[in-house]
Structure 1
C-alpha cells in the first residue's frame, strides 16, 4: 500500500465535464492524478474523447480498463430483470457498488495507489471514529444518494474534488483550461447505457412481459388499458392518456396484470419497507434520521421503526408521494450518509 504522503490519486474519468474538472482540480491542489477510463459500453461520445485528449495534453495521463462484461452481468441484466418484475430500479447505485468503484479500487491496489477519486458531487468528512460520505451542499448539486452502497472500508481512501463547486463553475473551469466553448457542454445521461428512450430500450431487450392490461380505479372502475406494467411507476401522472383526471398510479397488481389508479392524495405513503441493506455506519432502531427515497427527492425526517439483518422499515413524520419499489431508501445523519436499501414495500397507513 502507498504511504500516506503519496500524492497520487487514481481518478475515474469518463471524459465528461465533471470528471475532467475533477482531474484539473486535483492537479492544481498538488495531487498527481492518473485518469482511469472504464470502458462499459460500445459507443463513446465525441466530446468525451476530445476532453480526454485535452487532459493528456496537459500532462494528466489516462489509461483504460475494460469493464463491459461485468457491467452487462451486474447492471444491465439486473436492470432488465427488475423491469420484468414491474419494479422501478436505479441502476447507478448498483453500478457504483459492483462495477465502477470496485474496478477503480482494484486498479488502484494493483498500482499501489491509496487514494481513489471520481467527479461525483459529494464530500468526505470526519464522522464518529472514521470518515463518512457527506452531501455536497454548497454548489446546489448532490450525488451522495448514489453512493450509499459503497463498502465502509473504502471511505477513508475516497476523494471528491467537486464537493464545493456548482455545475456552472465546473463548466467554466473546463473552458478556461481547454479554451474551447464546445468542450464545456454536455451532461451525463440519466441511464448511461440507454442510447434513446427507456421505452424503446425495454421494447428491444425485455425477455418476458405480461403485456397490456386494465387500468382500474380504486373504486373498481375500468378506466382504460395500460401498455405493460413495467412501463409505469408508482406516483406517475403523465403519459396515462386518460380523461377525467388527473389520475395517478397508486400501485401495480401483478396477479391481475392491472394498473391501479387514484387521485394524488391516494399516492401518499407513511411507511416504507426496504431490504438488500447496506450500512456504512451503524444505525439504531427507534432513532430519527433524514431519509431520501429518490435521487432528486428532498430529504425528510423518519423514524427507523424496524431493523433486522435482512430488512428494515421507516415511519415518516409526514406522508410523502412518489415512492416506488425498486428505488433506494437512503438514510442520513444530518449531512452524513449512513446507508440504506432497496424499497420493496410501501404502506398508506
Structure 2
C-alpha cells in the first residue's frame, strides 16, 4: 500500500505540484506503454514535439507492462497505481536485467550498491520479529490450534492474526510440521493440517472487491462478454495462474482458476495480467470452498447403491 498511498500519491503530488517536476522516476522493474512509444504510434494521435513534459499530455490510456527481467518484475506492487500517476512516471530499469544493472554499478565503482542485500519482506518492519512487531499494536488474543481432520486441540497461540494461510504453524511440543488452513476470527481458533500440500489449502474460486483497472475501466472484452480469460497471481514472483474473470454489476469480479491454487487468503490482492500487461487488481473478499471441503461434501452425499435380493452374498449359506 505504500506505493499507492505514499510514493504514487503523497510523493508524486509533492513532486509535481510543489516542485514543478515534469515526472517522477523510480527504481521499480516495470515498463509503461509510453516508454515503448506505443501511444505515439497510434495513427489518430499526433506525436507531440518540443518539451519533454509534452509526452505526458497524450490522452490515450497508459498501460503498465511487465519488466524485461521477468524474475525481478514488480508490476505486482504497482497494480493499484492511478492512471494519472502512471502517466507521469518513468521506470529507467524496466528494459534492463538486474545483472546488467549490477554491471553498470561495477563500471561506475558503485561498490556500496553492489554489496547491498536484496530487500525482502515488509519494508517498514525490517529485521524485527514479525510477531513482536504486531503485538506492539494489537492486544494478544489467545486461541487454540485445532486439527481440521479430527477437531483435536493441538496447542495454543497468542492470536489468529499472527498467521497466514499456508504458513507452517510452530506448535509447542510437536515435531511434525502442521500448516495453517483456516482462521476463525470470532472464536480465535487456527485450524491446521498435517501436510504442506493438504487439500484444505487449495481453492479455485474467489471474489474481489471493486477492481482497480489501470488502463481500461474495465477492459472492453470483459464489459462486452461479462467474462474474460487472463492470468492472475496473489503473491509476488509466483507463477501466473490461468483463470476466467466474471464481471459483477458492482464492479467486483469472480475469479475461477483453471486449476486449484495453494494458500489463497482473504485480504490478499489478486493481480490480473494479459499478454504481458498488468491490467489491475482487487482485494480478495470471499473464497470458494477448499478441495478438502468439497471432498468431504462428496463423501457425505455418496449413497450406497441398493442391492437386489438375488445379488451374491445375500442368500443364506447352505
2:29 to 116, 121, 124: 121
Provide, for residues 259-286 of structure 1, a one-character-per-residue CA deviation record: whole Å limited to 9, x for no partner: 1122422200010121153111223131
CA distance in 1: counterparts of 2:148 and 2:227, whole angstroms: 36
CA distance in 1: counterparts of 2:176 and 2:266, whole angstroms: 24
C-alpha contact 1:123 1:133 (8 A) present in aligned 2: yes
Deviation at 1:246, TM superposition (A): 4.1
Deviation at 1:123, TM superposition (A): 0.7
C-alpha contact 2:143 2:190 (8 A) present in aligned 1: no
CA distance in 2: counterparts of 1:176 and 1:233, whole angstroms: 43
Task: Indicate the residue corresponding to 1:108 in structure 2.
Answer: 16
Give runs of aligned pairs for residues 1-349 of structure 1, distance below 5 A.
94-106=1-13, 107-125=15-33, 126=38, 129-138=60-69, 140-177=71-108, 179-186=109-116, 187-195=118-126, 196-206=128-138, 208-237=139-168, 239-240=170-171, 243=174, 245-262=176-193, 263=195, 264-275=198-209, 277-280=211-214, 281=216, 282-283=218-219, 284=222, 285-309=226-250, 311-347=252-288, 348=290
CA distance in 2: counterparts of 1:277 and 1:209, whole angstroms: 33
Inter-CA distance 191–301: structure 2 relative to 1 (3 Å threshold): same
C-alpha contact 2:140 2:158 (8 A) present in aligned 1: no
State which structure, 1 or 2, has the greater radius of gyration over its C-alpha atoms: 2
Deviation at 1:204, TM superposition (A): 2.0
Inter-CA distance 121–170: structure 2 relative to 1 (3 Å threshold): same
CA distance in 2: counterparts of 1:226 and 1:120, whole angstroms: 38
C-alpha contact 2:80 2:212 (8 A) present in aligned 1: yes
Inter-CA distance 308–247: structure 2 relative to 1 (3 Å threshold): farther
C-alpha contact 1:216 1:224 (8 A) present in aligned 2: no
Deviation at 1:238, TM superposition (A): 5.5
CA distance in 1: counterparts of 2:98 and 2:121, whole angstroms: 16
Inter-CA distance 137–269: structure 2 relative to 1 (3 Å threshold): farther
C-alpha contact 1:271 1:316 (8 A) present in aligned 2: yes
Inter-CA distance 190–246: structure 2 relative to 1 (3 Å threshold): closer
CA distance in 2: counterparts of 1:184 and 1:226, whole angstroms: 41
Pairwise CA RMSD: 2.3
C-alpha contact 1:172 1:184 (8 A) present in aligned 2: no
Superposition TM-score, scaled by structure 1 size = 0.66
The count of corresponding residues between Structure 1 and Structure 2 is 254
Superposition TM-score, scaled by structure 2 size = 0.72
CA distance in 2: counterparts of 1:156 and 1:260, whole angstroms: 45
Bigger shift: 218-227 or 125-134? 125-134
CA distance in 2: counterparts of 1:217 and 1:192, whole angstroms: 34
C-alpha contact 2:181 2:192 (8 A) present in aligned 1: yes
Equivalent residue of 2:280, what SS? Answer: strand
Inter-CA distance 308–226: structure 2 relative to 1 (3 Å threshold): farther
Gaps spanning 5+ residues in structure 1: where? 1-93
Deviation at 1:236, TM superposition (A): 1.4
Task: Indicate the residue corresponding to 1:18 in structure 2.
Answer: none
